[in-house]
Chains A and B, each alone.
Chain A
Amino acid sequence: MAQAQLPLDTPLSLPEHPKAWKWYDYFTFNVDHKVIGIQYLVTAFIFYLIGGLMAVAMRTELATANSDFIDPNLYNAFLTNHGTIMIFLWIVPAAIGGFGNYLVPLMVGARDMAFPRLNALAFWLNPPAGALLLASFLFGGAQAGWTSYPPLSTITATTAQSMWILAIVLVGTSSIMGSVNFIVTIWKMKVPSMRWDQLPLFCWATLATSLLALVSTPVLAAGLILLLFDINFGTSFFKPDAGGNVVIYQHLFWFYSHPAVYLMILPIFGIMSEVIPIHARKPIFGYWAIAYSSLAICCVGLFVWVHHMFTSGTPPWMRMFFTISTLIVAVPTGVKIFSWVATLWGGKIRLNSAMLFAIGLLSMFVLGGLSGVTLGTAPVDIHVHDTYYVVAHFHYVLFGGSVFGLYAGIYHWFPKMTGRLLNEPLGIAHFVLTLVGTNLTFLPMHELGLKGMPRRVAMYDPQFEPINVICTIGAFVLAFSVIPFLINVIWSWNKGKVAGDNPWGGLSLEWTTSSPPLIENWEVLPVVTKGPYDFGGIVHRPVMDEDDDEDE
């Protein structure tokens, strides 16, 4: 092989599994996209646990109909920050900052992202944002819900609310920086031999996500700036007595926050498109349908936000228009689900932990998606808006969807990131606990909402207590489900079975380098000769397996 010209400062790989960075590098301003990706994933997971503790506190309160566990205002602070943390500091950073940063350069055959220093800066905005949120509890904690509607947000715990706003501005800025990076990287830095139809679907998903974040996040920033001014500088944008209007806030907020849910699921859909073909040993079914449907969701998803406001100050024509647009956005999502199920057909399915979570996602997300369709129609939404039916819906799509998908991604790419496999029995235990816990917690909530229990309440009608007890038990199961996962990750990071370059027999470019990859990913950039899902026809494709004893 002809040797490439390398500058003298390029680190060369070691013959064994190279671990080029030291552990302390992960606590620094490091510009390597893989370090940043892991920084995002670990930080996000810590916030997941913090947000989860808040949820456990809330569910403990809700085991009884009375408000008898914590102060109701603290309860509201928990519910506000639980939602805020899970969205802005767990799912979005893990899916986009974590997996996006780690995988995109590898998958397109680049050495790093287009703007490595911007990347590091974007990550380092997150810990201060989290710190601000947690510190806000010293001032009571923001208590107006993650939606922060004025006038409640302009009159309640205003110092904490201001800190909340600043924290969101920080993560929003991080998100916009990340979007710029991904768009330029995916668009311009594919290795020259890669055609657009050979781009992994995870990259298509990340591209669609980044376009969406680029366009919607700044509108939230505008709304929050106006809110900050109303709280601190005596303006009246959202004060009706002085000529302001509170519904304007809702429009500015939801213009971003609806696309935000697509930010939380599109990268997950990307993970699904990578995990399922490999572990079923089959090409992805409907490559272009999945790629284009991501872009379709991105476009249509910008025009559905008023379905969060069907009972608010919205005129009839608006309620009808957005009912129809919301129904339309269900179609491209359905296409993806069918394509993944069809990918299973005729495969050689390995039910390892990654695949279990991916398949679990298929079921759970469908349930959440169907309840979403009912919520998207104004007549039904008028009954169930702001009830536990909505809580059920979004936890099915965000937990059963996004969190399951993140877990699938972790089990799938942990070997690439660390060079070691996660333990399978622990993974299966984790999966079973998570599946049972999720359904036990959130399935009964549909009935709660339909029968009359509103959301965001610390005290409720006693007729709902038996069902609430079931949900609380489920929440504790979910809390415990994290334990086998944490043990697995911590133990396997250093002591797990050595994975080799390509434990799963994958075909995308990240599997062509070592595990973990060299600092600059490859000594020589790869040349693409086939697509990333070109399975089929090979009789003997050896992989690391639960019944294998030998290494690759």
Chain B
Amino acid sequence: MEQIPASIWTLTAGVVITLISFWVGHNHNLLPEQASEQAPLVDDFFDIMLTIGTALFLVVQGAIILFVIRYRRRAGDDGDGVPVEGNLPLEAFWTAIPALIVIFLGIYSVDIFQRMGGLNPGDHAMHTMGDHNPAVAVVAAAPQTTATDAPPLLATKTNSVPEVGIGASPDVQGKMPDLVVDVAGMQYAWIFTYPSQGIVSGELHIPVGKDVQLNLSARDVIHSFWVPQFRLKQDAIPGVPTELRFKATKPGTYPVVCAELCGGYHGAMRTQVIVHTPEEFETWLSQNQTMAAIPSPSLVASHTAALGVTPQLLAQIAAAAQSPQPVPSSNHI
């Protein structure tokens, strides 16, 4: 009886593997929801690599299983196998195909990275702090130092404007971001400062659909700012200002995860990013700006001492101003 030709089996296997791989590539559900403009770009790229990887894995694994069954030594047979030492066309084929795949992935990587804004960190339309709240201008200009740091012994070439990270995507290149937030990481919390609005918060609030730039800094050790739903991560490095620039595309609350070992409580260094509708964001801003209108204690201490306002009371007020809750009326001056 005639066997089905091996080529038909191979074709069938190829078709089946292709179908499985495409299905896996599109239905894996391994990634969280997409909440930024960059997320679909990253996911498409990952899906393609997962598809190719699944296909390769199935081909190799299938061959292994097939050969182990088909060429298993039969009992009593202690002769040698086929004395084949190589096959130049086959070896050229299986060198060329991965090489082509790898070239394709390389080109695609650059394309995706460029569309994410990865080629444009440091593309800052504004380098002045002119429209910032002067009370926090010092903080905004040098996010990686505090007022109590000793001045560096050397002037460094790194200025306070980030040149590392994910920058403007091509559609907003050369334009100013809609919102700038300074993000300072420390053991074990993130502090978000809104220089233009004069707000300091422990959570990141941003409006959906707007071009947001985060200026990242760290005071003590290296931290890393990661929002899985945005697919964006950038280390906050002491001494090196970095940035993440993006547009959120879906209102909601997403985790902000520290992704660089920063000490015993690294796992607890988490906060949230709340993506608001434009109206909700305005509400949040105005709620918090009232609080932030109170300048820092040291600035006003000399003026309020005469009024009988002690430094301790000032500190209380300033601390309360940093929480997003409305301040109880008894603490108003």
Give the chain A neighbours of B234 by CB distance below 8 A.
311, 382
CA distance A330 to B232 in the complex (A): 25
B31 contacts A450, CB within 8 Å? yes
CA distance A281 to B79 in the complex (A): 8
A373 contacts B49, CB within 8 Å? yes
B89 within 8 A of A: no
B267 contacts A67, CB within 8 Å? yes
Give the chain B neighbours of A367 by CB distance below 8 A.
57
Query: A346 with B64: in contact, given A320-B113, A366-B57 (CB under 8 Å)?
Result: no
In B259-297, the 8 Å CB interface with A consists of 259-268, 270
In A220-264, the 8 Å CB interface with B consists of 240-247
A183 within 8 A of B: no
A324 contacts B106, CB within 8 Å? yes
- Contact bitstring A373-399, B, C-beta under 8 A = 1, else 0: 110011110110111000000000000
A316 within 8 A of B: yes
CA distance A280 to B261 in the complex (A): 46
B32 within 8 A of A: yes
A341 contacts B45, CB within 8 Å? no
Using CB atoms, name the residue of chain A closest to B82. A346
B30 within 8 A of A: yes
A331 contacts B102, CB within 8 Å? yes
In B169-187, the 8 Å CB interface with A consists of none
Stretch at the interface among B203-211, B219-227, B317-325: B219-227
B316 within 8 A of A: no
Q: Can you report 14 residue pairs joining A to B where beta carbons are below 8 Å apart? A: A73-B264, A75-B264, A151-B220, A335-B98, A344-B64, A346-B71, A350-B73, A373-B53, A373-B105, A374-B46, A379-B109, A386-B224, A452-B255, A456-B261
B238 contacts A151, CB within 8 Å? yes
Q: 8 closest pairs, A vs B, by CB?
A: A536-B83, A240-B239, A457-B267, A346-B82, A452-B228, A72-B264, A347-B81, A282-B81
B83 contacts A283, CB within 8 Å? yes
B141 within 8 A of A: no
B267 contacts A342, CB within 8 Å? no
B131 within 8 A of A: no
* Chain A residues close to B by CB (< 8 Å): 67, 71-73, 75-76, 143-145, 149, 151-152, 155-156, 240-247, 280-289, 311-316, 319-320, 323-324, 327-328, 330-331, 334-335, 337-339, 341-342, 344-351, 359, 362-363, 366-367, 370-371, 373-374, 377-380, 382-383, 385-387, 446-447, 450-452, 454, 456-461, 533, 535-543, 545, 547
Query: A374 with B268: in contact, given A349-B71, A363-B61 (CB under 8 Å)?
Result: no
B80 contacts A281, CB within 8 Å? yes
Number of B residues with CB within 8 Å of any CB on chain A: 93
- Contact bitstring B66-106, A, C-beta under 8 A = 1, else 0: 01100111110111111111110011001100110010011
B301 within 8 A of A: no
B255 contacts A545, CB within 8 Å? no
* Cβ 8 A contact of A460, one of B90, B228, B267: B267
B16 within 8 A of A: no
B233 contacts A311, CB within 8 Å? yes
A151-B220, A286-B86, A545-B78 known; 5 new pairs, CB 8 Å cut-off, are A286-B85, A311-B224, A315-B164, A366-B56, A383-B233
- Contact bitstring B151-175, A, C-beta under 8 A = 1, else 0: 0111010000001101000000000
B30 contacts A447, CB within 8 Å? yes
Give the chain A neighbours of B106 by CB distance below 8 A.
323-324, 327
Query: A461 with B149: in contact, given A330-B102, A540-B79 (CB under 8 Å)?
Result: no
Give the chain A neighbours of B109 by CB distance below 8 A.
320, 323-324, 327, 377-379
Give the chain B neighbours of A533 by CB distance below 8 A.
85
Give the chain A neighbours of B262 by CB distance below 8 A.
152
B232 contacts A382, CB within 8 Å? yes
Stretch at the interface among B3-11, B114-122, B189-197: B114-122
- Contact bitstring B234-246, A, C-beta under 8 A = 1, else 0: 1101111010000
B80 contacts A313, CB within 8 Å? no
Give the chain A neighbours of B156 by CB distance below 8 A.
240, 243
B263 contacts A311, CB within 8 Å? no
Using CB atoms, name the residue of chain B closest to A389. B30
A434: min CB distance to chain B, Å = 17
CA distance A373 to B255 in the complex (A): 27
Give the chain B neighbours of A76 by CB distance below 8 A.
261, 263-264, 266
* Cβ 8 A contact of B113, one of A319, A331, A344, A446: A319
Give the chain A neighbours of B154 by CB distance below 8 A.
242-243
B13 within 8 A of A: no
B84 contacts A379, CB within 8 Å? no
Query: A240 with B240: in contact, given A311-B233, A346-B84, A377-B109 (CB under 8 Å)?
Result: yes
* Chain B residues close to A by CB (< 8 Å): 30-32, 41-42, 45-46, 49-50, 53, 56-57, 60-61, 63-64, 67-68, 71-75, 77-87, 90-91, 94-95, 98-99, 102, 105-106, 109-110, 112-113, 116, 118-121, 144-145, 149-150, 152-154, 156, 163-164, 166, 220-222, 224, 226, 228, 231-235, 237-240, 242, 255, 257-268, 270
Query: A385 with B73: in contact, given A348-B81, A536-B80 (CB under 8 Å)?
Result: no
* Cβ 8 A contact of B239, one of A241, A320, A335, A461: A241
CA distance A223 to B162 in the complex (A): 26
B77 contacts A379, CB within 8 Å? no
Listed residue (B50, B120, B266) with the most chain A CB atoms within 10 angstroms of its CB:
B266
Using CB atoms, name the residue of chain A closest to B118. A316
Give the chain B neighbours of A330 by CB distance below 8 A.
98, 102
Using CB atoms, name the residue of chain A closest to B119. A316
Give the chain A neighbours of B68 by CB distance below 8 A.
344, 349, 351, 359
B81 contacts A280, CB within 8 Å? yes
A313 contacts B84, CB within 8 Å? no
B233: min CB distance to chain A, Å = 5
A285 contacts B228, CB within 8 Å? no
A452 contacts B257, CB within 8 Å? yes
Give the chain A neighbours of B149 by CB distance below 8 A.
241
Give the chain A neighbours of B228 by CB distance below 8 A.
383, 451-452
* Cβ 8 A contact of A345, one of B30, B71, B242: B71
Give the chain A neighbours of B164 by CB distance below 8 A.
313-315
Query: A370 with B71: in contact, given A243-B152, A282-B80, A316-B121 (CB under 8 Å)?
Result: no
* Cβ 8 A contact of A335, one of B50, B95, B235, B267: B95
Give the chain A neighbours of B257 by CB distance below 8 A.
452, 454
CA distance A155 to B218 in the complex (A): 15
B49 contacts A377, CB within 8 Å? yes
Give the chain B neighbours of A366 by CB distance below 8 A.
56-57, 60-61
B86 contacts A287, CB within 8 Å? yes
Give the chain A neighbours of B56 by CB distance below 8 A.
366, 370
* Cβ 8 A contact of A379, one of B45, B67, B79, B87: B45
CA distance A373 to B46 in the complex (A): 11
Query: A246 with B98: in contact, given A144-B261, A320-B109, A450-B30 (CB under 8 Å)?
Result: no
Query: A535 with B80: in contact, given A152-B221, A446-B30 (CB under 8 Å)?
Result: yes
Give the chain A neighbours of B224 by CB distance below 8 A.
311, 385-386
